[in-house]
Amino acid sequence: MTDPADLRPVTAEEWPAFSRAMLEVFGDDPIGDFTERVPPTAELDRSLSLWAGDGRVAATGGIYSRQVTVPGAVVPCAGVTWVTVSPTHRRRGVLTAMMRRQLTELHEQQGEPLAALWASEGSIYGRFGYAPATQRGNLRGSTRDMAFRPGVDLGTGTVAPADPEAWRAGAARVHEALRRWVPGTFERDGRWWERALRDPAERRGGAGARRYVLHTEADGEVTGFAAFRVRTRWTDDGLADGTVLVEDVRARSTPGYAALWRYLLDLDLVRTVEAGYAPADDPLRHLLADPRALQARPLDGLWLRLVDVGRALAARRYPAPIDMVLEVRDRFCPWNDGRWWLRGHPAGAFCAPTDGDPDLVVDVEALAAAYLGGVSLGTLQAAGRVTEVSPGAVTQAATAFSWPVSPFCPDQF
């Protein structure tokens, strides 16, 4: 079995070999100069690599230092990324060693209380305490059927195309205004906006280049933005049958949001809309005269891990008061395994170890799923992931862990 001590950070000189090995496992070709120079977002001191005896890179991993919104607060979060293991080193405990090394170092160094990742396969990360905490809606509909309800207010602002730099400036202001209210949303500094605007032709999947639009009020203030691309198609009869692939739509007002969507749904030569990463309960459905015109096939989005249960539970806010003892089962991180006294309310929270009798028993994956408010503890109880000890504890805890805004993560990493 692999010893976590066998893993080490990669150097800048080793980046080409490291990145090529990573892309090979993912089945991707090199894109641009990604394999030739270290990307601005990379933090090599937080990377991990395993080298085979012949000098090949057998495993890769890394962490981005991020800030994520949780209910009522913004919390440091370790964005786990680049995780691969070569087929030559499978079933040797390499991935387990990597996960253990990352989580142990975060705990011992009092680093981020949360870790998050995007899972390439749904069966991998649960055994390390991660759980899906947001959903992507995988929305689809026929634009012909997506008329708005009578009386939908489109406001007095305008929606117009923008060049990438103008779009970035306006979108950054809107994102910053909105991100603190939506759990699961990450901050974006200049490096992450630069990454968000990258649009290599190899990654377009047969669609056109990304297009950008801004919603602007009469006074010139940008209050919304959208990014999309169009996949052009013609039927054998010569009829337009294109698809608009919506990547992001956000606005600071309901009229602005409605106006952006009306623009996207009214594009010429388009018959279908797809929004793979929109929230599963996107407000768009409630703008439509026929709610059935929009179909959703929800998929998991961001996966979350409570690195330190006490610090994580104390960091978020609770819309309803909670005062109870949680017995947390955590096989992978023994420092979390035990009983925790949680007191929380809308203004703050306290959480510390205790020897008191538990009100609830919950595994750490279920706690991670419920942490952002997107999964009810009542649902998890029905699945056998939560055990109620004190009568009514599930109802109280499910109410306290809820949040009026569904969690959403538009940033893959």
- Quick check: is 332 catalytic? no
Residue 176: how many other CB atoms lie within 10 Å: 11
Question: Residue 252: left (phi > 0), alpha (psi -120 to 50), or beta?
Answer: alpha
Best CA proximity match to 66, nearest among 24, 116, 108: 116
Kindly list the distances between the CA atom of residue 275 and the CA atoms of 50, 140, 149, 169, 411, in Å, as whole numbers in the listed order. Answer: 38, 6, 20, 23, 14
Best CA proximity match to 136, nearest among 244, 282, 30, 253: 282
Binding residues: 83-85, 91-96, 120-121
- Quick check: is 125 catalytic? yes
Put the strands of the sheet holding 48-51 in their side by side order.
Answer: 48-51, 57-70, 73-85, 114-118, 302-306, 131-132
Q: Alpha-carbon distance 333 to 321, whole Å?
A: 28
343, 311 contact by CB (below 8 A): no
Binding residues for acetyl-CoA: 83-85, 91-96, 120-121
Q: Alpha-carbon distance 277 to 411, whole Å?
A: 9
Question: Residue 107 corresponds to which amino acid?
Answer: H
Exactly one of 18, 125, 130, 257 is catalytic; which is it?
125
Catalytic residue numbers read 125, 413
